[in-house]
Amino acid sequence: MSKNAYEGRTSKYLDSRCKRCFDIAVCLLIFVPVSAVIILIGLATLIIEGRPVFFAHYRAGKNGRLFLMPKIRTMHTNANPYKPSQEFEDGRFFTITGKFLRRHRLDELPQIFSALTGQMSLVGPRPELPSVAAKYTSFEKKRLAARPGITGLWQIMGNRKEAMHKGIKYDLYYLRKANLLLDIKILAMTIPFVLYPKPTGKTYENCIYTYNVSLPK
């Protein structure tokens, strides 16, 4: 992928010391309780589903660089982790514990370690599958201009049954408007989203603020 593919109007906050310090501070603040939850979920998964408890697969990060993203296993061991999630229509590929974990996004908790190491950010575009990112148009590649996020506008507001790159309007809006206050608002909205998840497949009403997510040509 050429460097020009990532050029565009993006917020300076994305690469600022402020955002990086915010990520580290929040990760350290929640590290102990999140680690405790990961251990409890890991034990439950081990007892009910068996090994492996955790797995990692490659995702396209900032500027398309591949990195290993850790997750708690939610699929049966014979399922292909690189298959787009919206293609798993009937849930046969998910384990008993996996259905609950995916519904509440708890399988993504280990990504706090990726945020600490700087491969991801707490808030940002959703990390894309390498096979999908490789087919991006030059326009779609703009969403790879920042570190991917554990949560973000698309994650809490987009249509979960559509491919991730279909929600590019959310990612590009964030890339243009990113700031500390917006990160705090998105994190705050993530809490009820995790505790009380909406039915999959609906586009959720924006309750952060009103904005026009239509994109310029």
Does residue 155 have a pLDDT over 50?
Answer: yes
Predicted confidence band of residue 163 (pLDDT cuts 50, 70, 90)? low
Does residue 217 have a pLDDT over 50?
Answer: no
- Highest mean pLDDT range out of 48-52, 77-81, 90-94, 161-165? 48-52
Q: For 37-87, write each residue's pLDDT tens digit.
A: 999 999 999 998 888 999 888 999 999 999 999 999 888 767 666 565 545
- Highest mean pLDDT range out of 45-54, 157-166, 182-191, 207-216? 182-191
Does residue 124 have a pLDDT over 90?
Answer: yes
Q: What are the residue ranges of helices labelled H in 153-216? A: 153-157, 168-177, 180-195
How many whole angstroms separate alpha carbon 34 and alpha carbon 54?
15
DSSP 8-state class, residue 162: S
The residue extents of the domains of the chain are: 3-195
pTM score of the predicted model = 0.80
How many whole angstroms separate alpha carbon 79 and alpha carbon 158?
25
